[in-house]
Structure 1
Amino acid sequence: MDTLVSLGYWGLFIGSFLASTIIPMSADVLLVGVLALGGNVWGCLAIATVGNWLGGLTSYWIGWLGRWDWIERWFKVKREKLEQQKEHVDRYGVWLALFTWLPVVGDLFAIALGFYRVRPRMSAFYMLVGRFARFLVWVLLYIKYADRFIEWIR
């Protein structure tokens, strides 16, 4: 994580992208770290959002490439279970994309949205909105408590 922070904006982009896939890391910590090192607040917000969004879209497209028979054969998931999960995805639909930034389940939401072919453009848009809102909260917290964040990081 220190290496990514030391790379500045590029590290923030790469880390935000990777954190939005199945790699367990925190884009939030990276964002605050780069901000604490003097990164431009609004530039960091844009970079973290775009990187994280592109990582989420990657998960979506991985799901899109999946096939029912592969899931049944390789992961031993019965077709009935897939149909039951599809009912849940259909129930909430594209709105699940707003929550793809959540740890652990967010990646599953993104993959499921792709796997069940839920409206790609709207899924992408809501993914962007959700991720932007998440990082905006962190930026606003940083602006308000910058001195505490800097003290915490050091």
Structure 2
Amino acid sequence: MEVWMHSLLAALALPEFGLSTVFVVCLISATLLPMGSEPVVFGLVKLNPDLFWPAVLVATAGNTVGGCISWWMGHGAHQVRDKLKHDGASSHDARALRWLQKLGPKACLLSWVPGVGDPLCAVAGWLRLPFWPCVGYMAVGKFFRYLVMTAGLLWVFPQHWAVG
């Protein structure tokens, strides 16, 4: 087990793998697994400032693909529920679902919000909101998330160059 863990950590080492690691971490963090991707994006950009835009774009792509996986998980869960014919939604749940249906794919703009965004993508699939418009709104929201978060972290933690 220990050898496997070391191999996994070596495969995810930022300086060695860079943008591919950012993609995988951002994809996984956009599913329903609890994982933050911002430290990985920031770490890569901090080590390689010239990779700011590629890192933001790769993070957006990975996080959007993860959002699509969540959408399909929600869609599949709805199909299973339809087969089982089980309806146990509370009035609070029903109100939230009506609100999301009213917003439609535009609700996926909020897919960047921590703690809410990932389940929101799954609910969009559950509601059978149109896939491609949801993907477009997810991508826009996630792009601005990584742009603002990475630029903000670089501003708070500026690069200090050694003189010598």
TM-score > 0.5, shorter chain as reference: yes
Aligned residue pair count? 149
1:106 aligns with 2:121: no
Question: 2-side partners of 1:137 and 1:46: how far apart?
Answer: 13
Q: Amino acid of the residue matched to residue 37 of structure 1?
A: L
1:34 aligns with 2:82: no
**Contact (CA 8 Å) 1:68, 1:79: kept in 2 or not?**
no
Question: 1-side partners of 2:143 and 2:65: how far apart?
Answer: 12
TM-superposed CA distance for 1:80, in Å, is 5.8
Q: Which structure would you say has the larger Rg?
A: 2
2:19 aligned to 9, 18, 33, which one? 9
Structure 1: runs of 5+ lacking an equivalent: none
**Contact (CA 8 Å) 2:111, 2:141: kept in 1 or not?**
yes
Question: 2-side partners of 1:128 and 1:102: how far apart?
Answer: 13
**Contact (CA 8 Å) 2:105, 2:137: kept in 1 or not?**
yes
**Contact (CA 8 Å) 1:5, 1:34: kept in 2 or not?**
no
Partner of 1:86: 97
Question: 1-side partners of 2:119 and 2:89: how far apart?
Answer: 18
Partner of 1:127: 138
Q: TM-score, normalised by structure 1?
A: 0.81
Secondary structure of the residue aligned to 2:112 is coil
| Deviations 1:98-152, CA, capped at 9 Å, x for gaps | 01122221121101101111121111100000000101112322453452699xx
Secondary structure of the residue aligned to 1:25 is coil
TM-superposed CA distance for 1:91, in Å, is 2.2
Partner of 2:28: 18
Question: 2-side partners of 1:37 and 1:100: how far apart?
Answer: 28
Identity of aligned residues (%): 24
Question: 2-side partners of 1:109 and 1:18: how far apart?
Answer: 16
Question: Which deviates the most, 61-70 or 18-27?
Answer: 61-70
Q: Amino acid of the residue matched to residue 18 of structure 1?
A: I
TM-superposed CA distance for 1:63, in Å, is 0.9
1:141 aligns with 2:152: yes
**Contact (CA 8 Å) 2:38, 2:150: kept in 1 or not?**
no
Relative to 1, partners in 2 of residues 1:52 and 1:69: Cα closer, same or farther, differing over 3 Å?
A: closer
Relative to 1, partners in 2 of residues 1:120 and 1:41: Cα closer, same or farther, differing over 3 Å?
A: same
**Contact (CA 8 Å) 1:20, 1:52: kept in 2 or not?**
yes
Relative to 1, partners in 2 of residues 1:124 and 1:87: Cα closer, same or farther, differing over 3 Å?
A: same
